[in-house]
């Protein structure tokens, strides 16, 4: 081989080797973690989504449904209750500042999850009049879902119910109050404020189950720990009747683990 040919061949080989050493393997792509959707970033994924103030329940389910249903499914799977269930009961305990979610399919009610109540104004005792800032006590239903609430999302209770109206009329209380909601945020003037993420779950669940299949029981404290007793020198004379109805609703449910543990601890102390 001529010297010039050898030089050319050597240069070509060197170039090829250099090119091979510069070609690095592509690093594997790390999976992106699943995070809660933010409306301002995610709304363009769903079409059409009406602007806030004009939204329907269906819009809320499009925005929050995929995320919240995955979480709800985990709760229901652990409790061995099918999702969505046939009916649910929400038990709000004012003193303990928590709300229990109970549900059933074709069997008895089971405890699904417990949420903290972020804010609830007033004291123990029923709501009597407009502006008293009391969270009502009693057995209620959900009248409607509000996807355009000033408190993120909200669910309107049927306060005053028949019991409330009957006793208000007997006592001449013509303005017992209204517009009591379970809603988001953490501020209350007579409503149950659950925080935004919790109300997204509850709103989605109630929309799936149907408002007609939801009961809401609001108690001054947990009657499974110690009985509801009304001081009629401070509360209306009909309060024992109200507390009897509340107690029957809650005591018909099996006590969740937390309540059983508290009851055992108190028994030991006594």
Query: pTM for the full model?
Result: 0.79
Q: What is the pLDDT of residue 4?
A: 54
Considering the domain boundaries, does residue 247 fall inside one? yes
Q: What is the pLDDT of residue 65?
A: 95
Residue 70 near residue 94, CB atoms below 8 Å = no
Considering the domain boundaries, does residue 240 fall inside one? yes
Considering the domain boundaries, does residue 65 fall inside one? yes
Average pLDDT rounded to a whole number, residues 201-208: 98
Domain count along the chain: 1
Considering the domain boundaries, does residue 270 fall inside one? no
Location of structure tokens 């209380």 = 173
Using CA atoms, how far apart are residues 134 and 124, in angstroms rounded to an integer? 8
Q: What is the CATH number of the domain that holds 100?
A: 2.40.440.10
Considering the domain boundaries, does residue 92 fall inside one? yes
Decide if pLDDT at 250 tops 60. yes
Q: What is the pLDDT of residue 36?
A: 58
C-beta atoms surrounding 268 within 10 Å = 7
Decide if pLDDT at 17 tops 50. no
* Residue 267: pLDDT band with limits 50, 70, 90: very low
Considering the domain boundaries, does residue 10 fall inside one? no
Please compute Rg for the chain using Cα positions: 29
Decide if pLDDT at 11 tops 60. no
Range of the domain at 136: 46-222+234-253
Using CA atoms, how far apart are residues 246 and 82, in angstroms rounded to an integer? 27
Using CA atoms, how far apart are residues 84 and 156, in angstroms rounded to an integer? 21
Considering the domain boundaries, does residue 124 fall inside one? yes
Considering the domain boundaries, does residue 249 fall inside one? yes
Angle at 171 between CA 167 and CA 174, to 5 degrees: 90
């Amino acid at each position: 081989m001529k010297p010039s040919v050898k030089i050319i061949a050597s240069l070509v080989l060197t170039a090829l080797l250099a090119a091979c050493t510069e070609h690095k393997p592509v690093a594997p792509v790390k999976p992106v973690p699943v995070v809660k959707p933010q409306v301002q970033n995610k709304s363009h994924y769903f079409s059409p989504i009406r602007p806030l103030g004009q939204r329907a329940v269906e819009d809320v389910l499009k925005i929050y449904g995929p995320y919240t249903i995955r979480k709800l499914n985990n709760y229901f799977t652990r409790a061995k209750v099918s999702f969505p269930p046939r009916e649910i009961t929400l038990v709000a305990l004012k003193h303990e500042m928590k709300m229990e979610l109970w549900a059933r399919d074709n069997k008895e009610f089971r405890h699904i999850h417990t949420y903290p109540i972020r804010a609830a104004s007033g004291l123990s005792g029923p709501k009597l009049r407009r502006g008293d800032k009391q969270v009502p006590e009693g057995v209620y239903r959900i009248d409607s879902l509000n996807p355009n609430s000033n408190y993120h999302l909200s669910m309107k209770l049927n306060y005053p119910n028949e019991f409330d109206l009957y006793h208000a009329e007997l006592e001449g209380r013509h303005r017992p109050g209204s517009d009591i909601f379970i809603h988001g945020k953490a501020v209350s003037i007579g409503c149950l404020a659950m925080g935004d993420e919790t109300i997204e779950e509850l709103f989605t669940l109630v929309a799936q189950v149907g408002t007609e299949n939801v009961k809401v029981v609001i108690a001054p404290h947990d009657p499974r720990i110690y009985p509801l007793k009304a001081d009629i020198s401070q509360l209306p004379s009909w309060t024992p009747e109200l507390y009897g109805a509340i107690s029957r609703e809650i005591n018909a449910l099996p006590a969740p683990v937390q309540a059983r543990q508290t009851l055992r601890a108190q028994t030991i102390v006594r």
